[in-house]
């Protein structure tokens, strides 16, 4: 997931407690999941606005959405 996708996921979880969650998950777990997504979005935004081109590229590589490969690859 990219930073913007984490941000969107946090918004959705806070707006709709049943969004993306199986039945039986409580509101506190949903809020915790939203907080994790918001934190990851903030980390990505902060890292990608850095001054060091090497740091920025390393974060871009780490935050990039990668296609799923075969198991064990």
Predicted confidence at residue 72, as pLDDT, reads 52
16/31 Cα distance (integer angstroms): 10
Residue 7 contacts residue 40 (beta carbons within 8 Å) = no
| Tens-digit pLDDT profile for residues 15-54 | 876 666 666 677 788 888 889 999 988 888 877 776 777 7
Q: Give the other-Cβ count within 10 Å of 25's Cβ.
A: 13
For the chain, give every domain's residue range: 3-63
Predicted confidence at residue 38, as pLDDT, reads 92
**Cβ contacts of residue 25 below 8 Å, gap of 6+?**
none
Predicted confidence at residue 20, as pLDDT, reads 61
Number of H helices, E strands in the chain: 3, 0
Predicted confidence at residue 17, as pLDDT, reads 61
43/4 Cα distance (integer angstroms): 11
């Amino acid at each position: 997931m990219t930073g913007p996708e984490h941000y969107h996921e946090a918004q959705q979880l806070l707006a709709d407690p049943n969004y993306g969650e199986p039945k039986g998950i409580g509101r506190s777990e949903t809020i915790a999941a939203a907080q994790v997504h918001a934190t990851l979005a903030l980390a990505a935004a902060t890292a990608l606005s850095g001054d060091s081109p090497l740091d920025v590229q390393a974060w871009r590589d780490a935050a990039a959405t990668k296609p799923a490969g075969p198991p064990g690859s």
